[in-house]
Amino acid sequence: MFEFELFVFVVILFVFLYSKSRIDELRDIVNNLQAKLGVAVRQREAGPEVPVAKTEEPPPVAQEMPVEVMRELAQQGAASETIKQNAGGQREDLEFKIGSKIFTAVGVIAVLFAIGFFLRYAFDSGLINETGRVVLGVFAGLALLAVGELTCKKFPSYGQVLTGGGLGILYLSFFAAFSLYEKMTAPVAFFAMILVTAAGIALSLRQNSMALAMFAQIGGFLTPMLINDGSNNPHILFLYVVLLDLAVFMIAFYKLWQPLSVVCFIGTIVSYIGWYSAFYNSPQFVLAQGYLSLFFAVFLCIPFIQYFVKKSPENSWDMALVSFNPIFYFGMSYALINPLYHDIMGAFTAILGAFYCFLAYVVGGANERDSLFRHFLLTAGFVLLAIAVPVQFEGKWIVVAWSAEALAFIITGFRMKFPLYRALGHLLFFLTLFRLLFFEGNLPVLAMPILNTRLLLYAIFFGAVVAASYVYRKKRAELGEDEKSLVSVLELGASFTFLMGLSLEVHDFFESYLYPMLWTAGGLAAALLSFKINSKTLRVVAYITFIASFFRLLFFESGIELANYMPIFNARVLAFAFCAAAFRGYLSLLRYRKDKVSSDELGFFNPTLFLVFHFLVLWVLSAEIISLCDREATYAAGTAAFDFENLKNVFLSVAWTFYGIGLLITGIVRKAVYNRFLGLALLGIVIFKVFLVDTANLSDLYRFFSFIVLGCLLLVAGYLYYRYQDRIRDFVKGK
């Protein structure tokens, strides 16, 4: 047991010595910089030296030496002299560190080990009784404190190491008196360690040593753990911790020792969580929440003191305290309040978030918008406000509140000129969309189409994303290159939300043929808006929805039930006609606004949409012919059913032929090359079908009809080409 305690003490002492060494190095660097700055200032105040003209003639060799060679030699000489000086300074610094700091630290540790081995020998041999051991340890600690105090003025580092060793021996002596030998009661040992901690803090201020103060604080927080008899005394424990925190609070008015505040904060967390896990129960709620709030207030004030009173520059230690203090306070408050008073937990979180936003408003003035301190406060406030929603509410209200908060984050990010808030807004939008898709998809049994909470939530989220996209477009000049792409992300998110919300309504309440109609209408709306606001992203959305609608029509909406089939006036024709008309409308718009699109986009989608439009018309026309003949064949018997199969092939050939001729006529009259080429291609398909397929499958009568109709119409097509050959040639030549 003794070896373990000695090992723990040595580890703590080593940490102290390492921290002390690093602080001394930083102090040396600052002193060197100040010395160099002072020399430069004195030289500037003295003015430039006036060179004295020399009457001696330079040697002949120097006159004959080129200027470039002289300059190079001078630079090499100066560089070699600098290297020698730096090498000598490094050797001196290394030698001083080894002789003064490292030897001193190792010497203290060696002495401690020697004392430990001697004491163990004395204890095992019975030369010193238990009371004598404690008294000997106390006198040894006081002696080291005295020697450290006497030597600290002339040799600060040496004196501070001795002082730290003395404090450690005192802590160890009182702990041994209480825990190992039972020569002290818990209150007496506790009071003795309080005195040691107070002495350590006082000596650290006197010797201007932050490392010594940190060592005293660590010993102070270890005291309740070492002097622990297993009883629950929360007032004594927390008042003691408050005294330690207030000591750091008072030090903040005089010293810029931010790491000390963080060490004290960590000690407070460990002490509080240790008590909570061991002794807390619901009757102690007021006590636990009260002391927790007191700790929170102390560590909230310390960064403000450093920032406003001491005018310290913002650093990572202050920002760490500003960030983790509300995290600890909220986390422990949730553990205390939520099991007993769940209904007020959301309000508590929102008030805490609003309080941090108010603090950020107080800190930031007109000239302090870029203050990192203010941004950290406001970030904590925004995060707490976001957390308040799921803490208090359930279901749909989370989506509503998060959508509003995400938009507020983005707007505030632009007003504060701080991209982090905009990033938080996008993160909250993503979380809201995730919740919409995976947690808000179900509806109650008696829900109404359109007028239901799910579609309302999608509409609210859609509105928030559209508003955010509008803000981004309005503030585009303030965005960096990486953030400009977020405008497209928001537009894609808004389009997806709009189509997803309405698609869910179709899935739950309407017929499936409305899917392609809805998607096509949404794509057409996006395309119209894209030309109005000059957004390529929305046109991409339009093309994606058009493709989805096209394949939905072909693979899911082409079939129909023959029992309830009505030619022409059915859902299939309606869906195909609507989508085809929308595609043709967008094609006309694309041609009309060709100055707003790139040549590559126009060159690809102009013929593609033209082909898609006519393909859909031919597809639905053929599907109607097939469905009509199949329905009649179902009710026919014997040879009549075979006749309807023949009629189906004949009608298909006739319909395709008439359609091809129509395309040719339209192409000749309107000088449209796409129409003529498509008409020729379609007539070629009909010729192939009639001569190969129909000849093989049809009876003679139906072969006659197929060939006679095809032949007559082909003769008409040939006549048209001969009749209007001049117009066609002029059009081909571009006249």
Three-class SS of 410-459: HHHHHHHCCHHHHHHHHHHHHHHHHHHHHHCCCCCCCCCCCCCHHHHHHH
Nearest to 97 by CA among 18, 15, 203, 162: 18
Helices and strands per DSSP (H, E), number in the chain: 27, 0
Residue 475 has phi, psi (to 5 degrees) of -105, 25
Q: Examine the domain organization and report whether 655 and 722 are in the same domain.
A: yes
Helix (H, G, I), strand (E, B) or coil at 511: coil
Nearest to 176 by CA among 212, 136, 230, 148: 136
Q: Examine the domain organization and report whether 124 and 247 are in the same domain.
A: no
The residue among 350, 374, 392 that closes a domain is: 392
Q: Examine the domain organization and report whether 108 and 215 are in the same domain.
A: yes
Q: How far does CA 519 lie from the centroid of its chain? A: 32
Which regions of 16-78 does DSSP assign to beta strands (E)? none
Other C-beta atoms closer than 10 Å to the C-beta of 261 total 25
Q: How far apart are the first and last CA of the chain?
A: 107
Q: Examine the domain organization and report whether 325 and 363 are in the same domain.
A: yes
Q: Give whole-number Cα distances, 491 to 262, 418, 434, 521, 724, in Å.
A: 44, 22, 17, 17, 49
Does 72 map to a domain? no
The whole-angstrom separation of Cα 191 and Cα 681 is 103
And the tokens for 398? 């989370």
Does 200 map to a domain? yes
The residue among 229, 252, 277 that closes a domain is: 229
Judging by beta carbons within 10 Å of its beta carbon (0-12, 13-18, 19+), is residue 309 exposed, middle or buried?
exposed
The whole-angstrom separation of Cα 307 and Cα 295 is 19
CA angle 53, 54, 57 (to 5 degrees): 140
Q: What is the pLDDT of residue 1?
A: 44
Q: Is the Cβ–Cβ distance between 487 and 472 less than 8 Å?
A: yes
Q: What is the pLDDT of residues 260-290, one digit of tens each?
A: 888 889 999 999 999 999 999 999 999 999 9
Nearest to 421 by CA among 378, 361, 469, 362: 378
Does 27 map to a domain? yes
The whole-model pTM stands at 0.67
The list of the chain residues with pLDDT below 50 reads 1-10, 13-14, 16-17, 39, 41-43, 45-69, 71-73, 75-76, 78-80, 82-84, 87-88, 91-92, 99, 366-370, 735
Q: What is the pLDDT of residue 579?
A: 97
Nearest to 115 by CA among 140, 138, 94: 140
* Run of H or E residues at 395: none
Q: What is the pLDDT of residue 13?
A: 47
CA dihedral 348, 430, 398, 457 (to 10 degrees): 150
The whole-angstrom separation of Cα 377 and Cα 696 is 84
And the tokens for 656? 């395709």
Nearest to 443 by CA among 434, 456, 431, 433: 456
And the tokens for 404? 């509003």
Q: What is the pLDDT of residue 42?
A: 47
Q: What is the pLDDT of residue 625?
A: 92
Q: Is the Cβ–Cβ distance between 682 and 656 less than 8 Å?
A: yes
Does 185 map to a domain? yes
The whole-angstrom separation of Cα 41 and Cα 318 is 33
Q: What is the pLDDT of residue 229?
A: 67
Q: Examine the domain organization and report whether 255 and 384 are in the same domain.
A: yes
Helix (H, G, I), strand (E, B) or coil at 230: coil
Q: Examine the domain organization and report whether 197 and 252 are in the same domain.
A: no
Domain count, the chain: 3
182: left (phi > 0), else alpha (psi -120 to 50), else beta?
Answer: left
The whole-angstrom separation of Cα 405 and Cα 403 is 6
The whole-angstrom separation of Cα 454 and Cα 303 is 46
Does 435 map to a domain? no
Q: Examine the domain organization and report whether 244 and 304 are in the same domain.
A: yes
Q: Is the Cβ–Cβ distance between 399 and 447 less than 8 Å?
A: no
Does 289 map to a domain? yes
Does 711 map to a domain? yes
Residue 452 has phi, psi (to 5 degrees) of -140, 165
Q: What is the pLDDT of residue 314?
A: 64
Does 459 map to a domain? no
Nearest to 210 by CA among 248, 244, 246, 167: 248
Residue 545 has phi, psi (to 5 degrees) of -70, -35
Q: Which domain holds residue 111?
A: 1-38+94-229
Q: Examine the domain organization and report whether 215 and 286 are in the same domain.
A: no
CA angle 260, 266, 271 (to 5 degrees): 125
Q: If you ran DSSP here, which 8-state letter would residue 1 be given?
A: -
Token look-up 């006519």 returns: 614
Nearest to 218 by CA among 271, 277, 157: 271
Q: Examine the domain organization and report whether 206 and 312 are in the same domain.
A: no
Q: Examine the domain organization and report whether 379 and 243 are in the same domain.
A: yes
Q: Examine the domain organization and report whether 247 and 387 are in the same domain.
A: yes
Q: Examine the domain organization and report whether 147 and 179 are in the same domain.
A: yes
The residue among 199, 229, 259 that closes a domain is: 229
